[in-house]
Amino acid sequence: MDRNRLQYLQRMGIDVWVRRDQPPPVPAPVPSVASQDGDLDDEVPVSGLSWSQLTERVASCRLCRLCETRTQTVFGVGNPQASLVVVGEAPGAEEDRQGEPFVGRAGKLLNNMLRAIGLSREQVFILNILKCRPPNNRDPSTEEVAACSPYLIRQLELISPRLLLAVGRIAAQTLLDTQQPLGRLRGRPHTYAAAGIPVIVTYHPAYLLRSPADKRKAWEDLKLVYDRLRGAD
């Protein structure tokens, strides 16, 4: 009797007679499917993952060589049903250690920027283009961005925010697929084509700590965010 038929009969609760002079056939392996705790095989595309499955996939990702130097991946934090998603470039050294984006002085300034338009860190979702820290905080490579893009797209699909706030040149240029300088991208809404979500561009908090004179410009950007979230023209 072939193994597939034996397995079928056993699942139906039907006893199967096997000759004693022959070893019982080994049942065919059951194809891998979603297990009871929600895990999926790596073959399942990122676009089909739930939030918890996506979190696990990112945590174990080895699609680029950044996995060799990271302490841990940085998935993102905040409200997974947020209207606003803040998008940065990549984890820094402290983010890599803590597993959370925008910590330290830059994180505190970002929190203050959000509070200025009536939002808390817990009300938005904060993430990065890359989920792993590039060594020495260098700019992400094209290959690294490509490896992480499906994760970003799936995160945004699941969150379904009304607006993205791109902080810093790398985040803005990556989302908008452009090489225009940040100064030319500010002051007007754009669209992240991969997810069809409006984008506002502003300075990275770390830059504002070094160049406080540009905080006034960042405030103008934040007012655009405030108006867009409240449906103003």
Q: Where are the domains of the chain?
A: 1-30, 38-229
> Between 22 and 126, whose confidence is greater?
126
Q: What is the dihedral of CA 110, 202, 182, 199, to 10 degrees?
A: 120
SS3 203: coil
Mean per-residue pLDDT for 215-220? 98
The listed CATH number (3.30.70.3170, 3.40.470.10, 3.40.50.960, 3.40.250.10) that belongs to domain 38-229: 3.40.470.10
Residues 6+ apart with CB under 8 A from 129: 87, 88, 89, 90, 140, 145, 148, 152, 170, 171, 174, 175
**pLDDT over 70 at 232, yes or no:** no
Mean per-residue pLDDT for 154-171? 98
**pLDDT over 90 at 11, yes or no:** no
With bands split at pLDDT 50, 70 and 90, how would you rate the model's confidence at 231? confident
